[in-house]
A and B are shown apart, each in its own frame.
Chain A
């Protein structure tokens, strides 16, 4: 069954405010797809457009190849899991799960079969006749999933459903969600501002900012090859250094970064001499050096945080105000790494990414 979602020139305006800029996107059948972005980036609006709660100002949504124009939310082959779960408090667990079938006129015996199957799927068969208020947070979560699955949607829409849970449960539910998705083969569209959730569960992630899709890629690509300065700093940790282009050699570019001196990296942008540009280097790709050479700088250690497998360092390059974060494996010799000490750090040019300053947001 085709359960792809196709956004074609979708745009959303509220009065003068553009909540979602023109977007083209194809989410494949059976994919676990996430929209990742800070609050107010337009991801929830996009979800509401797919679910049919709001009509886009422009463009069309196709689900399973069918045009969804003028198809209201209750007629779409989607179902949604809400941030606050929105379980019906006056109904029992079973009534909640069976609600979608009940309103479709499915007979009681049939409904019961479905709810029993789903309660087994989410491993809560004993909760069938409980009241919603008697469930724990994690149980509510699973009942919400079961309820949404009961109507056999082609696409399941999840609006930050884990945000109300505590850390441990949240991490557990990630595996469980991924598991359910694999078992059912339904397309999952997941909304979150938590990159950990997006990167661990998703097949592909769309990073959004200011109503615009910044990059759509698998988690590995997002991390290794961010397409925009926003993605580079939003996904994972990154050090961001500003400079001016002073030399270009193919994809290798050298910047004059003021007090940090000249630093090189590679780029995919077309840059000209004198352009302002940004250099991104991840904390774990910065290493200790014994002597100054290319792509090196001297920095004073401000703060040390021991995090088990590695040591997180905050350091300020000499004469500069900038704070850089450096991650060192803790099995290295770290005797002279102490607050106040001066240490030389460096990185390989192929590990650093340079982007045009004009694309900064």
Chain B
């Protein structure tokens, strides 16, 4: 065997291991859902059961947390997407002093640990008389999710041909008509992708939410608290459902993205990099 093929097999072996490492924990966790054991594990296997789904279904705390998470994620989407779009439009238009500074400032929430965003939001809004809860969670999450939206929109804007705007303008369209009929339709795919990402990011956030949630509980907080106190495989059932939903979302999102990429013949990998935290 030549050294080249050893290298080739070596790297294949490594890739296989890597993906095993990536997926085995998730599979074990999912499998534990069906084990008829009080504690979530797969060893030893005490018989297959679906009762943990039933227990989850009857858990009013979970439903409450799910409702809160959905409200917060919807709120974040509504606030963060317009902010991110506005900032991307600004960055793609403005040429002059302070642009780099503003860009750095807009990126800074992504480079700040989530706990610090939570803490600073909590302190600031308490001084305005607002205490922790659903509203403050939306605000805190928006702080960094808007920056993700901004990056995604900016990536698409950078490929926009501005003579299209001039063309529409010279055909008699007003500034608003140009924006509404030319730029916005062009940005729409990126805005939709950003909305999906914003929703998911909000839904799964833990570190920031922990500090600003007040007495309200989100689904992620609920799972973490269950793991530490009162852990049963019902948590695994919830995890399994969330994983399945996520896979569905990810696959649909990715398929749509590739479809678009093929249509506009843009490299799919540079279009919008999925990021979460």
Contact = CB atoms under 8 A, between A and B. Distances in A.
Interface of A: 51-53, 72-76, 78-80, 82-84, 86-90, 99-100, 103-104, 147-148, 150-151, 157
Nearest to B185: A90
A86 B172 contact: no
B103 interface: no
Contacts of A72: 169
A79 B186 CA distance: 23
Contact of A88 (B168, B172, B174, B177): B168
B171 A99 contact: yes
A73 B170 contact: yes
Interface string B166-197: 11111111100100011001100000000000
Interface of B: 161, 163-164, 166-174, 177, 181-182, 185-186
B52 to A, nearest CB: 49
A103 B161 contact: no
Closest 7 CB pairs of A and B: A100-B171, A86-B167, A103-B173, A86-B163, A80-B170, A103-B177, A74-B169
Contacts of B163: 82-84, 86
A103 B171 contact: yes
Contacts of B170: 51-53, 73-74, 76, 78-80, 157
A103 B166 contact: no
A74 B161 contact: no
Given A83-B163, A157-B170, 6 more contacts: A74-B171, A79-B172, A88-B167, A103-B171, A151-B171, A151-B172
Contact of B182 (A83, A88, A104, A147): A88
22 contacts: A52-B170, A53-B166, A74-B170, A74-B173, A75-B172, A79-B170, A79-B171, A79-B172, A80-B167, A82-B167, A84-B161, A86-B164, A87-B167, A99-B173, A100-B171, A100-B172, A103-B168, A103-B171, A103-B173, A103-B174, A104-B172, A147-B171
Contacts of B167: 80, 82, 86-88
A72 B181 CA distance: 19
B121 to A, nearest CB: 39
Chain B contact residues, majority secondary structure: helix
Nearest to B171: A100
Contacts of A84: 161, 163
A157 B172 CA distance: 14
Contacts of A157: 170
A151 B170 CA distance: 10
Contact of A103 (B172, B185, B186): B172
A130 B273 CA distance: 32
A73 B168 contact: no
Nearest to A84: B163
Contact of A86 (B161, B177, B181, B186): B161
B118 to A, nearest CB: 40
A86 B173 CA distance: 15
Given A103-B174, A151-B171, A88 B164 contact: yes
Nearest to A159: B163
Nearest to B182: A88
A31 B182 CA distance: 32
A86 B166 contact: yes
Interface hub of A51, A74, A82 (most chain B Cβ within 10 A):
A74
Given A88-B182, A99-B181, A103-B177, A82 B171 contact: no
Contacts of A147: 171
A83 B170 CA distance: 14
A239 B101 CA distance: 56
Contacts of B185: 90
Contacts of B168: 88, 99, 103
A59 B167 CA distance: 25
B166 A82 contact: yes
A74 B167 CA distance: 10
Contacts of A90: 185-186
A315 B97 CA distance: 57
